[in-house]
Structure 1
């Protein structure tokens, strides 16, 4: 059985909400992402442990072509089942 993980994230100094959605979907992850009034991107990604590890690396080190990542914070936990059906953008 595949071990499922949840990754809560907040990334500072970025411009990449839609690229986050695209990358998460490419990895087969589910969850959401949204911009905040503080010019950060926050979200939740859920899926297999390997996909979560890739997403964490992408959020911290890669980002979109237009991004400038100042810092990233993560909270990772084990979960029993997925709580979302797809990965998308949430509006404020």
Structure 2
């Protein structure tokens, strides 16, 4: 199965609502590696690596996020896959 990398930015009420931790939990359950972080402008940024089906599932989950979140938009782009990440971390 093909491996992909997706870089995404999530806007809306996504900080202070356990978005990053919930993203880690979703990623780990799907076997996706990468990272997630809050941005100064109020968005959440994430980089996701793994099997295409699993990464696409996580990308889809970003549209709703955890229960307390209110997602307004998800922007994403597919990047060249690089096998250099272990686990899924909260950064920044």
TM-score over 0.5 for the alignment? yes
Q: Which runs of 5+ in 1 are unaligned?
A: none
Alpha-carbon RMSD across the aligned residues, in angstroms, is 1.1
| Other structure's SS at 1:38 match | coil
**Superposition misfits of 4+ residues, deviation over 3 angstroms:** none
2:41 is the alignment partner of 1:38: yes
Q: What is aligned with 2:84?
A: 83
| Other structure's SS at 2:71 match | coil
1:47 to 33, 50, 75: 50
Deviations 1:13-52 (A, max 9, x none): 1131110111011100000000011111001000000001
TM-score (norm 1): 0.89
Q: How many residue pairs are counted as aligned between the two chains? A: 88
Q: Which runs of 5+ in 2 are unaligned?
A: none
Q: What is aligned with 1:20?
A: 23
TM-score (norm 2): 0.89
